[in-house]
Amino acid sequence: MKKNTIAVSAVASLLLISTLTGCKVRDPQDVRPVDWYESHESEREKTLAECRKNPDTFDQTPDCVNAQQAENNVKSGTK
């Protein structure tokens, strides 16, 4: 029984470590252009959702502006 507990703990630890090492935090200075947001719908939606959560803080950031412009372009068919 103790061997199983150790094995499960080891596997869980490895899984946690591999998950955390795959996470990347973007540099706030790394602004994505409008055309990138036009071609990456899920990221555009995620960015817009974050921007809408805190409009006072995020609404005027370059990423929010670019994501919103991309959304407008896609909806109007100018993409």
Q: Is a pLDDT exceeding 70 seen at residue 24?
A: no
Number of domains the chain is built from: 1
pLDDT at 20: 54
Q: Which domain holds residue 9?
A: 2-76
Euclidean distance between CA atoms 6 and 25, whole angstroms:
32
In the chain, % of residues over pLDDT 90: 49
Selection from 55, 68, 70, 63 nearest residue 28 by Cα: 63
Q: What is the 3-state secondary structure (H, E, C) of the chain?
A: CHHHHHHHHHHHHHHHHHHHHCCCCCCCCCCCCHHHHHHCHHHHHHHHHHHHHCHHHHCCCHHHHHHHHHHHHHHHCCC
pLDDT at residue 67 in the model:
96
